[in-house]
Structure 1
Amino acid sequence: MIAALHRRHFLATGGAAAATGVQASTPLLNSLGTANPRWRILAIAPSSAKLPELTRDYQQGVELGLAQAGASSQVALTWLTAGLLPSAPAKAVGAALQARPFDAVMGWMPPALANKVSPLTESAGVPLWISDTGADMVSQSDTHPLTVRHSLELCAMATALADRVYAQCGPRAFLSMGRHESGFDFLQSFQQRWQALGGKVVGRHIADMPGNASEFGGLKQSIISHQPDAVIALYSGPQSQRFAQWWQKHSAALHTNLAGLPWLPEHNPGVHAHTIATWPQAQSADAGWRARLAQAGLGWTAAALLGAEAGATLGTALVTAPLGTHMRDLWAGLHHTPLVGPRGERQWVNAGTDSAGPLWESTLLGVSARRQHPTSHPTPAAVVAQRGWTTGYLLT
């Protein structure tokens, strides 16, 4: 039996206090000649000890998207970096809004941070753009008319993964996950859909729990004893790579299928797994965007793609806005136009509280297939009510 782990204990063991940081930087686009920008935007980049490249990928992705839209000469960005806990970056945003005028605030904001920043932007009458992983569900009641949010749509990916694995592998699933992954709504989304299909979760393993002899201690024996049709591997960062190496070593003895998050096979091409993503693999992506990211020195990462989508979509709206347009008026119609970027054209859903669009499925042969019309399953209120860690997903 897996012992319950309180979220404050997770934060303490994860070194959250040491990793929390807020850092102001010089407006990055001023170096591109924006001496008198038409728009001034306060931007927030994520900070993660587990994924140190997250900051650069999202930040440079936003700048690349703005440049692609032709908005670089019109926009000055002032960047803050936000660590694990929401209080410090929220205070920095509040101080920045009081210190100088901004036309908008945008950035990577998990729900806990967005819920603190949103009242500040509402009070200042400043529109807010939220980029997020979509690891936690967001209710429409959490939003404001001057707020839009797009995400990697992890909860939708988890629901679609349940459909795919149930159809392809069978009804018996074993959940193998990182301690970080165990506290987010996308896990509940998978389980809710799996149970609705008639499936059964026959076993669970959380890596690196106190008392385990090793990171994946007991996992092999547990999988063999439960005889699942598929192992659902939910890991991220270096732990995902370590699990993939573990799987390659032991898979012959396990006699089951593997499925998981889209980054599971990224750095381990020998691992064949069922995955669902809201973005294509690099080899099947738009050649123009692939070249632009490569020229900017960016990998084909989820954070870079989400940042580029934010920059390109907002930049397109800014450059086409007539002179004299107020940012609040522009924001009011923003969610009526498609999102654009390296993920392809996506739509706003639920009055701009999230994004939706094509899903890409990987087969066991590593080939991506684009599914144009993902099935939509309403998320039960019980899932929305679930709240695990106070940190945002990937921000550890």
Structure 2
Amino acid sequence: MIAPLHRRHFMATASAAVATSTALSPAVHAAVNAAHAPCHILGIAPSSQKLPQLASDYQRGVELGLALANAPQVKLTWLSAGPLPAAPARAVEAALRHWPIDAVMGWIPPLLEKKLSAITVKAGVPLWISDSGADITPTTEHHPLRVRHSLELCAMASALADKVHAQCGPRAFLSMGWHESGYDFVQTFQHRWRSLGGQVVGRHVAGLPEQSQEFDGLKQAIAFQQPDVVVALFSGSQSHRFTQWWQAQSALARIELAGFPWLSDGIPNTRMWTVASWPSADTADSAWRAHFEKAGLAWTPGALLGAEAGASLGSALAAPSNNARDLWASLRASPLSGPRGERLWATAASDSIGTLWVTAEPRNFRHSTAWLQCQAYPSLSASAAAHSGWTTGYFLT
């Protein structure tokens, strides 16, 4: 059992944020009404070493969503944010002093959110927050000019515990990357699993600095414990390496495997249980799938979250509104719209909630089943799981 970690930065190596002023792409300009005065939005894109395409996916998703919403003319100035919040917070504060900014939106993890909330509230500028949802955020703080949606990873982890406990049995072995080990979704899974009467019979963290090989001791630990299910929490290229490792372990073939959806990306014919807050491309809304294909945009979580942000904000911008407070009030009163389908704001717009998709088939024969989140897991709050580990936003290393 690993002792709880104190919150700290995880391998923070990125340089200061760099501001690059960009107009929207030609496809977006073709869809907006040039007769309106431009709305100037300051955007914050993630800077990820783990997922290098994340920034482009999110940015292009936002632009696609804005285009499809037929919003008035929008100018975007993107900041490239590293994993630590100080540099992008300073850049936003400077931009608000020197430019007429109508709103700030972007991929904003909780530690950066705290800094930017103070800055934007003081300036009276609305703040749109997209995030992975890997850490639980307090729901007590409320401001009328702030909204937040996410990939809902903590909710996914809780729902995964429900589904796997019911289908596989009560004895789980947790296998995870060092990067994953300090985020709240790990604690959320364990909290929910134990509340169901389940037992975590072992844990293995891969990629620790002292390990000579990434998965040292993992096979022996699983074989010794003989769990009902291995819950594998990895991301990026490490998730692919784990799945390849798993496929080679014939001695573990009878044990069930579960994890987040990207565990099976690019690795066909691996049976596993997954829960996601977004549909796979083959089960998605056909119109949104066509829009992504036409734009040459991959069906990735980052792109989907960006498109949801752009489409929802764009729809609000297209509606008559006298001021920012009216605009943000209409946002909070309306469901989110985008390629994940209709999603709702949680209490005080602290996050998004909606349909989850559960799968348990080889990827080549996958049949996703919609699973209503409100039926799948109890409401999460800041007290629902122990907080420990990294402060850096998930993926932002």
Any idea what SS the aligned residue of 2:349 has? coil
The residue number in structure 2 matching 1:27 is 22
Is 205-214 or 94-103 further displaced after alignment?
205-214
The residue number in structure 2 matching 1:214 is 213
State yes or no: 1:37 paired with 2:32.
Answer: no
Is 241-250 or 34-43 further displaced after alignment?
34-43
Any idea what SS the aligned residue of 1:204 has? strand
The residue number in structure 2 matching 1:374 is 375
Any idea what SS the aligned residue of 2:378 has? coil
> Which runs of 5 or more residues in structure 2 are unaligned?
none
Shift of 1:353: 0.9
Shift of 1:39: 1.4
Shift of 1:312: 0.2
**AA aligned opposite 1:25:** T
Is 381-390 or 189-198 further displaced after alignment?
381-390
**Could you tell me whether the CA contact under 8 Å between 2:139 and 2:382 is conserved in 1?**
no
The residue number in structure 2 matching 1:226 is 225
**Could you tell me whether the CA contact under 8 Å between 2:188 and 2:386 is conserved in 1?**
no
Shift of 1:24: 1.2
Paired residues for 1:84-95 under 5 Å: 84-95=83-94
Any idea what SS the aligned residue of 2:376 has? coil
RMSD: 1.9
The residue number in structure 2 matching 1:338 is 335
Distance 1:253 1:353, change over 3 A: closer
Q: TM-score, normalising length from structure 2?
A: 0.93
**Could you tell me whether the CA contact under 8 Å between 1:30 and 1:76 is conserved in 2?**
no
Distance 1:175 1:215, change over 3 A: same
Paired residues for 1:220-369 under 5 Å: 220-322=219-321, 325-365=322-362, 366-369=366-369
- Show CA shifts across 1:54-110 (max 9, x none): 000000000000000012x52111111111101000000000000111111111000
Q: Distance in 2 between matches of 1:3 and 1:354?
A: 29
Shift of 1:378: 3.1
Shift of 1:374: 3.4
Distance 1:35 1:149, change over 3 A: same
Any idea what SS the aligned residue of 1:364 has? coil
**Could you tell me whether the CA contact under 8 Å between 2:131 and 2:149 is conserved in 1?**
yes
Shift of 1:298: 1.2
Q: Distance in 1 between matches of 2:178 and 2:35?
A: 47
**Could you tell me whether the CA contact under 8 Å between 2:187 and 2:385 is conserved in 1?**
no
- Show CA shifts across 1:286-332 (max 9, x none): 1111111122121100000000000000000111124xx21222102
Paired residues for 1:124-139 under 5 Å: 124-139=123-138
**Could you tell me whether the CA contact under 8 Å between 2:162 and 2:377 is conserved in 1?**
no
**Could you tell me whether the CA contact under 8 Å between 2:144 and 2:325 is conserved in 1?**
no
Q: Distance in 1 between matches of 2:253 and 2:211?
A: 20
Q: Distance in 1 between matches of 2:97 and 2:386?
A: 34
Any idea what SS the aligned residue of 1:232 has? strand
The residue number in structure 2 matching 1:388 is 389
Q: Distance in 1 between matches of 2:21 and 2:104?
A: 16
Any idea what SS the aligned residue of 1:246 has? helix
**Could you tell me whether the CA contact under 8 Å between 1:41 and 1:106 is conserved in 2?**
yes
Is 229-238 or 143-152 further displaced after alignment?
143-152
Q: Distance in 2 between matches of 1:315 and 1:326?
A: 15
**Could you tell me whether the CA contact under 8 Å between 1:362 and 1:368 is conserved in 2?**
yes
Any idea what SS the aligned residue of 2:263 has? coil
